[in-house]
Amino acid sequence: MNKKVKESTEYQSFEGVKVETPKAPVLPTFDSPEDDVVWKKGVEVSEKDYHQKITVSFRNSEDFEEFQVLIGQAIPHKVNEIWHPEVPKDKPTLSSFFSDDTVEVVPYKVKPKRVKSKVQLDVDIEEKKDPNHWTYHWLGMPEFVQEDNPPARKFTAYFRNEEDFKEFQSLIGQEMTNKTKSIWHPKLDRTANSRLRWIEE
């Protein structure tokens, strides 16, 4: 006959004394109701939840990988929003229960984007039925192709307070203000081509 055994944190020692086993520390989870809203996946961020937000853009995969190492956060491909630091400083983390060894960040590379073929581009143009579209007016003019040059990677970074925001600036070596809305990494030199002139012989 099988007997049901009731689970308990107490057990009987060989001396007949009840001993209670120590409970393991409770680690934070993304499902805990008392957790901050910024820990939860899929929760829309409102202005009251953050101190500052910045859009960060990158020219290539090397710049994106360097950035992840600088801030100490690995950013997966499908992630379009991050918090810095990833976990609030007043929240316990797994590392706080173990050694103080630093964990090396393994950065993600930028995923190559699928390039449309010339045939597909021609189809896209044919599908534009708007009579005001530039393709209907660029007639008898020199051929000019303006290729798209979007960032290799882009996402939004949120900061909980001024201290976190200043720490971020120090890590990546760029100065920002509360009015800064977007940046490039490395910093974009907007005056690099300002002195270039077209000279006709």
The dihedral sign for the CA sequence 171, 173, 178, 180: negative
Q: Is the pTM higher than 0.85? A: no
Residue-level pLDDT at 114: 65
For residue 137, name the pLDDT band (cuts at 50, 70, 90): confident
Give residue limits of the domains in the chain: 48-112+151-185
In angstroms, the Cα distances linking 164 to 131, 168, 171, 188 are: 50, 6, 11, 23
pLDDT tens digits, one per residue of 139-170: 787 877 777 788 999 999 999 999 999 999 99
Tell me the C-alpha distance between 21 and 147, whole Å: 67
Q: What are the pLDDT digits (tens) for 48-106?
A: 889 999 999 999 999 999 999 999 999 998 899 999 998 887 775 544 444 445 567 88
pLDDT of residue 6: 56
For the stretch 114-127, pLDDT in tens is 655 554 555 455 55
